[in-house]
Amino acid sequence: MRKKENRYLVNRRIVLMIIIFVFISLFCFRVGAVESNDKNMSLEEQAVICLNDSDELFHELIMENFSVQRVNDSLIEATHLFDAQTVLKEGRKNHDFSLVLPFCEEISLIKKSAFEARDEVTALLKFYNESITPEMNASEVEETLSEIDNEMISERYEKVKPLVSKAYEQIINIKSIQTTLNLFYKSTTRDLKEFFYKNWIYILSGVLLLFILFWIYKKTIRRWYIKRKISNLELRKKILQGLISQTQRDYFQTGKIPEGAYNTRTKKFAELIRDIDQSLPLLKEELFKIADKLKQKVFPGKEEDTKKIKEKETKKNKK
């Protein structure tokens, strides 16, 4: 009984090995036949197939809204080469259809690079829109995105990948800077809140004190401001008078400037002096009013009091 079982197992293994051997032989035969067909296929037939495939790739790129000028140029060159080799063959001259194949390979590579570049740019734009907010300064990234767009339009897809990597680095740096600024802002805001919370009485007292001092000395401050403005206007008037004198010397004595320039300058300087003369009495009158209220001298260090100065100024205006 055991011998029959052992013999059955041996026979079963032998049959299984025969089946495996047959399948391996058929597979090897099939592969060999395909390789043989490829070898037996002429270069002319390979060139025809490659041109047809390239034409399909060309139309596929058009359907996907890619720029196709570069592919079109390669396809035209390959077609011209194929036609030239056909003419040589018909004339029984040396010909080589293998010259067409590199152009087909180039077109295939361009198509592959185009789709890969588009996928990378799409992912980059999604990351950009999710990461960048309006308050961030993204000028560098936008410049890089513009370069990427130009490379895509120019069909230089091999240059897109480095620019995409550059854009990712820029976006990450911007996010890092923004995160740091946000942390600093939160920390500063928190510290200021704590400071005002602990010292609000002193701060309020200081502000109130400053307001009271300003209210008490506002006329004195106003008087100081007007005196300073009067001094500046008088200084400016002296400078303008000096410029008029210089212009007159340049025209009448040395003849450095023409008559038109002389008339223009003197007229402009005279108008500026007239404006100053109109402003000075108003400022001085306001200064006298403030001095009367304060019961102080307008110009300390002089022996004349406010009334005498006012009388002199009135006489000058009458003249």
Single-letter code of the amino acid located at 199:
N
Measured between alpha carbons, how far is 299 from 306 in angstroms, rounded to an integer? 9
DSSP string spanning 113-174?
Answer: HHHHHHHHHHHHHHHHHHH--TTS--HHHHHHHHHHHHHHHTT-GGGHHHHHHHHHHHHHHH
pLDDT digits (tens, 9 = 90+) for 69-117: 989 999 999 999 899 989 888 888 888 888 889 999 999 999 999 999 9
Q: What is the pLDDT of residue 293?
A: 67
Query: Mean pLDDT over residues 37-55, rounded?
Result: 78
Ramachandran assignment for 258, one of left (phi > 0), alpha (psi -120 to 50 degrees), beta (any other): beta
Q: What is the pLDDT of residue 27?
A: 54
Six-digit token string for 37: 């067909």
Single-letter code of the amino acid located at 202:
Y
Binned at pLDDT 50, 70 and 90, residue 274 comes out as: very high
Q: What is the pLDDT of residue 299?
A: 44
Q: What is the pLDDT of residue 285?
A: 86
More confident: 38 or 218 = 218
Q: What is the pLDDT of residue 59?
A: 92
Q: Reply yes or no on whether the pLDDT at 6 is more than 60.
A: no
Q: How many CB atoms lie within 10 A of CB 100?
A: 25
Measured between alpha carbons, how far is 177 from 71 in angstroms, rounded to an integer? 43
Measured between alpha carbons, how far is 13 from 11 in angstroms, rounded to an integer? 5
Query: Mean pLDDT over residues 132-152, rounded?
Result: 89
More confident: 276 or 134 = 276
Q: Reply yes or no on whether the pLDDT at 13 is more than 70.
A: no
The position carrying tokens 């990234």 is 141
Six-digit token string for 230: 């009067």
Binned at pLDDT 50, 70 and 90, residue 295 comes out as: low
Q: Measured over all CA atoms, what is the biggest interatomic distance in the chain, rounded to whole angstroms?
A: 154
Six-digit token string for 137: 């300064």
Ramachandran assignment for 295, one of left (phi > 0), alpha (psi -120 to 50 degrees), beta (any other): left
**Lowest-confidence segment of 67-76, 211-220, 275-284 by average pLDDT:** 211-220
Write down the pTM of the prediction: 0.47
Q: Which of 46, 48, 65, 166 is nearest to 114 (CA)?
A: 65
Measured between alpha carbons, how far is 220 from 222 in angstroms, rounded to an integer? 5
Q: What is the residue-averaged pLDDT of the chain?
A: 80
Query: Mean pLDDT over residues 188-198, rounded?
Result: 78
Query: Mean pLDDT over residues 251-272, rounded?
Result: 88
Binned at pLDDT 50, 70 and 90, residue 32 comes out as: very low
Six-digit token string for 173: 């740096």
% of the chain with per-residue pLDDT over 70:
80
Measured between alpha carbons, how far is 247 from 265 in angstroms, rounded to an integer? 7
121: burial class by Cβ within 10 Å (0-12, 13-18, 19+)?
A: buried
% of the chain with per-residue pLDDT over 90:
28
Q: What is the pLDDT of residue 40?
A: 43
